Structure 1
Amino acid sequence: MRDLEELLSLVRDRESKKYFEEGIKAYHAGAYRASIVETWVAVALDLISKIRYLSERQDPQAIDFVKHLDNAIQSANKAKLQKIENELLKKARELELLTPREEAELQRLYLDRNVCAHPAFVAPEEVFKPNAEQVRAHLASAVDNVLSLPAVSGRKLIDQFRQEIASDNWPSYSNYNQYVEMRFLNSARHSVKRSIVELVVKTAIEPPDLDSNSAVSSTAVSARARVAINSLALNDPILLNNAIESVIQKRQKAEGLSDTVLLRITGSLGQFQCTWTVLSDSDISRILTLVSTSDTQTLKQNRALVCWPVYHTEIEEKVGEKRSELISTFDGLQHMLKTVTYGRRNLIPAVISQIRYANTFRDAEDRLRDFAKLARESDISSLRDFGKAVRENNQVYLAMNTETILRNICEQTKEIAGVGIVWQEIADGLHEDYLHSGEGTASNEYSYSDFKDFVAAFFNLYHV
């Protein structure tokens, strides 16, 4: 049974909340008819407030509704106002503020409200005497279907998602942090959530056709969708799995899965068991052949290597061979750093190797910056390996900006348990290397004594 105080906390609009709270108080007092009446008042007020919001944003249907409502209010036309109330749920459904199912549930509330508010106008044997369970059901329905939801229609929310994912306003990878969930899903009804998540999946496996004046490329939009998929996998795996199955099945039944789409499915959805469950045996065989016979340029172009590892063992083996070939080169590793969205920590050994063998100061700094891109994916072991690579290559520890970059990496890894000790080891080691380098005391520029002080102060501050 739903907790009524929890339901009250979910009501978004302050004015609607006042009436809903009165409905709860009436329920606790045993005044069940009054509770139903107040609950309907809260729902009607909330829906009209949302329609006014849509009107202010130039929705034609909402503008027309508000115009007729305000005219009826100003002229005190009770017949028109009654008609507007009778058709309020229908209008809300037309504006996509309600689904047909939600409209049906709230219609029961409205009918019960009528017999509760006007018991003298029904036959004596038909006078409605609601019980506690019926009232609680109406209270929960009011919150779930109206009072907890934003004033945005499903269609508009989907359109808004399409616009934002292709705009300059989309957050970068490092600042992503469940953006799709917080911005579009948390307050949306289930049917809208499902549509948006299916759109995310479609966007990942098939880059959208964008206007030539678009702020970002279609491949960048697909990358954003892949990041969203990984976040959804952690926060709502059931919704995501259902969306993946639905999208793939629809494509199979319609135009089928092209070679390009199969490669993109491997890179965008390959980490999920449900992907390989819904794909047919022939599709999986085609993927095996495509990965084995395609050159790395084709695989790069179709983002087939950006998932690490792929859930399917045989395909992961073939993909792994191509990945190893790609990241063995400088340009290939740079490509993977830009495109891998699942399993990025697997790139860390290759980046550390390039740090170890950097042969110029500038190259050393660039490789340190590459590691900084993966810093949040690192752990104690990889940080120790990183520290050894830095110390072993004098092109790294004698580069001008090394200390600045190390501080940045240090800050990014501060949440890793026990990391303060590792950074102390790195800082002490760099200082000892300086003392034994033959530089003497002629220059303190590369002594890393300031970095030692920084590490000591930083991790004392964060109690690590």
Structure 2
Amino acid sequence: MDTGFIDLDILLTRIRHPQSKVYFLDAVKAYKAGALRGALTSAWVALVYDLIAKYRELSALGDAAATAFLMSWDNATNSGDIGKLLQLEGSILEDATANTQVVNRIARTHLDRLREDRHLCAHPAFSAEADLFEPSSELVRLHLVNAVDLVLSQEPLQGKAIFDLYDVDVQSPGFPAAHERILDYVEQRYLARVRAQNVRNFGTVLAKSLLKGVPAQWEPLHRKIIPSLVAIRDRAAHAWADVSAAIVRLVDNLEPLDRPRAIAFIAAFPDFWPRLQEPTRTALQETIDNADPAAIIDYRILAGVTVPQFRAALLSLINGLTRQQLADAIASQPLVDLWAKVVAEYQASGSWRGSEANFRDLITPFAERLSSQQLDQVLDAVIGNGQNWDAAETHTLLLGLLRSARLADRPTPDARNRFYQHIYRMRRTDKYSDVLTFLQSDGWLLPAPERAVDD
């Protein structure tokens, strides 16, 4: 590196932490005064102080490795244990490389040289000729520039601690559930403060979770894991090429038992399909074509219904699901292509209690996802079967579903009119009064009632 034309005063403006700047200013003053040994000593002090400051920031974010080092450092400081402090100071570059990963291995090589030259300057070390070590101005300037470029000007980016932090976070109630909010959250909390290499590793770990079911505690969380991986694709494009290459290798080498996971993965990331080896595509297609509805245990395979190559076979598979299988599939993921069978199953409810169970298990999981047309179908299914409209809990279940819909997705006036006329004829307007009140809240008016039938 040619450091001869670098203005050290400008270098000072690049230092993030104010106190680190104060310590580094001592090094610059010493350099300008010709006290080169003092400049290197002050540069090392500024570097160590800045690493400790970065550790405090990382510890506040939950980095366990940073917290452990700081605990030792603070305990030694409070007890005046000089020997321990010297030991920690001597090991801080190793810790920053191996544990917190604040420093990468190339940077550590340069910083180790600063530490070694600082030792020669700060201690009475003599050469064989009894000459006191005297660094050249070029060497000192190089060390000053490296200290700023490699540490003092850098954000305290997280290293491998991202995996432990994410593991706890994604299982917590504070992790977002909505797709777009997950993208923003993962970008701001993880991607913006993590080293590029760790972003690539993070993406591979997420993909392994979706494709191989590891770690096991993430298994029920695939609806959060998928958007987390999408965040890397859309918000960390610099890392996605390496991540996607690793994913292709994973899919091409999956065990047969993991192929349903791969089908669900392709549904979420269809761009991977043409990148797979031909034998892999054949195996996935045959997995679907030969699937037995009676033997299905991993309902994530149904997500592949959005992939053109899989659609016909999976629609046939969906049509063959039993009522319990349908409920289990919806619990796994309420896919829009399950809706037609859901409505038909609810429409055909054979008892009051069965109707209520069908509404809770089959229809309610689609809350907040239904279009105006689909809500029309629900209203028509309610009035189309006496086991539905006369069941004790239907009005409560229906009101909850309607309230979850966006204003633009509420039922059409025609469907509301049909619903009102039926419950009026059946003398159930009192039972459904709350539903009718809600339906009128956006300006819909009750139509003139048709003649009610006798009980």
Shift of 1:340: 2.9
Map 1:283-302 to 2 at 5 A.
283-301=280-298
Structure 2 counterpart of 1:215 = none
Which of 402, 422, 432 does residue 394 from structure 2 map onto?
Answer: 402
Contact 1:355–1:364 (CA under 8 A) maintained in structure 2: yes
Q: Partner of 1:431 in structure 2?
A: 420
Matching residue of 2:94: 90
Q: CA deviation at 1:175?
A: 9.7
Q: Which secondary structure state, in structure 2, belongs to the residue aligned with residue 314 of structure 1?
A: helix
Amino acid at match of 1:410: L
Residue in structure 2 matching 1:188, options 177, 181, 194: 194
Letter in 2 for 1:291: I
Unaligned runs of 5+ in 1: 1-10, 24-35, 115-120, 210-217
Code of the residue aligned with 1:70 in structure 2: it is: T
Is 1:207 matched up with 2:207? Answer: no
CA contact (8 A) 1:105 1:141 kept: no
Q: Which residue type is aligned with residue 193 of structure 1?
A: V
Structure 2 residue runs without a partner (length 5+): 1-14, 24-41, 119-133, 445-455
RMSD: 5.2
> Which one of the candidate residues 163, 171, 178 is aligned to 1:158?
163
- Is the contact between residue 200 and residue 243 of structure 2 (CA under 8 Å) also seen in structure 1? yes
Query: How many Å separate the matches in 2 of 1:127 and 1:319?
Result: 69
Mark the CA change 1:234 to 1:381 in structure 2 (over 3 Å): closer, same or farther. Answer: farther
Match for residue 446 of structure 1? 431
Map residues 273-284 of structure 1 onto 2, 5 A cutoff: 273-284=270-281
Amino acid at match of 2:73: V
Aligned residues of 1:364 and 1:395 also touching (Cα < 8 A): yes
Structure 2 residue matching 1:376: 3-state secondary structure: coil
Q: Deviations over 1:213-266 (max 9, x none)?
A: xxxxx5x843413542145326634556753531441575xxx43221223211
Tell me which residue corresponds to 2:50: 43
Q: 1:446 to 1:266 in 2, by over 3 A?
A: same
Over residues 367-425 of structure 1, what are the superposed CA-to-partner deviations in whole Å (9 max), with x where a residue is unaligned? 333222112222233233333333333433333222322332233222x6x235x3766
Secondary structure (helix, strand or coil) at the match of 1:396 reads: helix
Q: 1:281 Cα shift? A: 0.6
Residues 269 and 275, structure 1, Cα contact 8 Å, conserved in 2: yes
Q: Which residue of 1 aligns with 2:343?
A: 352
Larger Rg: 2
Instruction: Name the CA shift for 1:348/1:21 in 2 (closer, same or farther; >3 Å).
Output: farther
Structure 1 length normalisation: TM-score? 0.65
Distance 1:332 1:457, change over 3 A: same
Check conservation: 2:103, 2:151, Cα contact below 8 A.
no
Change (3 A) 1:299 1:102: farther
Q: What amino acid does structure 2 have at the position aligned with 1:49?
A: R
- The letter of the residue matching 2:313 is K
Whether the 8 Å contact between 1:355 and 1:368 is mirrored in structure 2 is yes
Structure 2 CA distance for partners of 1:397 and 1:187, relative to 1, 3 Å:
farther
Structure 1 residues 52 and 173: alpha-carbon distance in aligned structure 2, compared to 1, 3 A threshold: closer
1:29-428 equivalent positions in 2, closer than 5 A: 43-49=50-56, 62=69, 66=73, 70=77, 74=80, 88-100=92-104, 103=107, 107=111, 123=136, 128=141, 145-146=155-156, 149=157, 153-154=159-160, 156-162=161-167, 177-178=181-182, 184-185=190-191, 187-208=193-214, 218=216, 221-225=218-222, 227-233=224-230, 236-237=233-234, 238=237, 242-250=242-250, 252=252, 256-301=253-298, 303-310=300-307, 313-326=308-321, 329-340=322-333, 344-369=335-360, 370-414=362-406, 418-420=408-410, 422=411, 427=416
Q: d(CA) in 2 for partners of 1:334 and 1:92? A: 51
Which amino acid is the alignment partner of residue 249 of structure 2?
Answer: Q
The separation in 2 between residues aligned to 1:188 and 1:84, in whole angstroms, is: 24
| Compared CA separation, residues 269 and 298, structure 1 to 2 (3 A) | farther
Q: Size of the alignment, in residue pairs?
A: 398
Query: Which whole-Å CA distance do the structure 2 matches of 1:203 and 1:458 have between them?
Result: 44
Instruction: Give the 3 Å change call, closer, same or farther, for CA 172–76 of structure 1 in structure 2.
Output: closer
Equivalent residues of 1:245, 1:275 under 8 A apart: no
- Cα distance, 1:142 vs structure 2: 5.2
Distance in 1 of aligned mates of 2:311 and 2:19:
58
Identity %: 14
Structure 1 residue 69, shift from structure 2 partner:
5.6
Give, as a single letter, the amino acid of the residue that structure 2 aligns with 1:272. F
Q: Deviations over 1:441-462 (max 9, x none)?
A: xx752353x32333444799xx
* Distance in 2 between residues matched to 1:287 and 1:174, nearest whole Å: 29
Cα distance change on mapping 1:75 and 1:101 into 2, 3 Å: closer
TM-score calculated relative to the size of structure 2:
0.66
Deviation at 1:337, TM superposition (A): 0.3
* 8 Å CA contact 1:249, 1:278 repeated in 2: no
